[in-house]
Amino acid sequence: MTALHDSASVTGIDVGAVTDLTRGEGRTYTVDGTQIAVYLLSDGTVRATDAMCPHRGGPLADGQFDDGVVVCPLHQYAFAFATGACTSAGIDPVRTYDAHVVDGRIRLTLG
């Protein structure tokens, strides 16, 4: 007998249904006491960073983003999803997290 889904192979913490987000929208989740911003891209994939901007604490989930960067709504510094690095010199990076959608659920990997 073949299982359609091998739950043992699904990794990460389930934070909610991807349908809770609209494409192009970010939302903040609390996972193990950490505030994490999750972004639903136009292609249906997700990215995740710390929710608080390392510059002065802006809410990154409220920022504009594309498939490469999120732009903080307070002072418009941009942070790369791939590395967390700020595109401007002298600004600390933001922490990024592995994020993916499995069976319609957003799953994050911390650590």
Binding site for ligand FES (CB under 6 A): 53, 55-58, 72, 74-75, 77
Q: How many residues does the chain have?
A: 111
SS3 62: helix
Nearer to ligand FES, 91 or 102 (CB): 91
Q: CB-wise, 14 or 92, nearer to ligand FES?
A: 92
Supply the minimum distance, in Å, between the C-beta of residue 65 and ligand FES. 13
Closest approach, Cβ 106 to ligand FES, in A, equals: 24
Least distance in angstroms from the C-beta of 41 to ligand FES = 20
> Cβ neighbours of residue 27 under 8 Å, at least 6 residues apart?
20, 21, 37, 38, 61
Contacts of 90 (CB under 8 A, 6+ apart): none
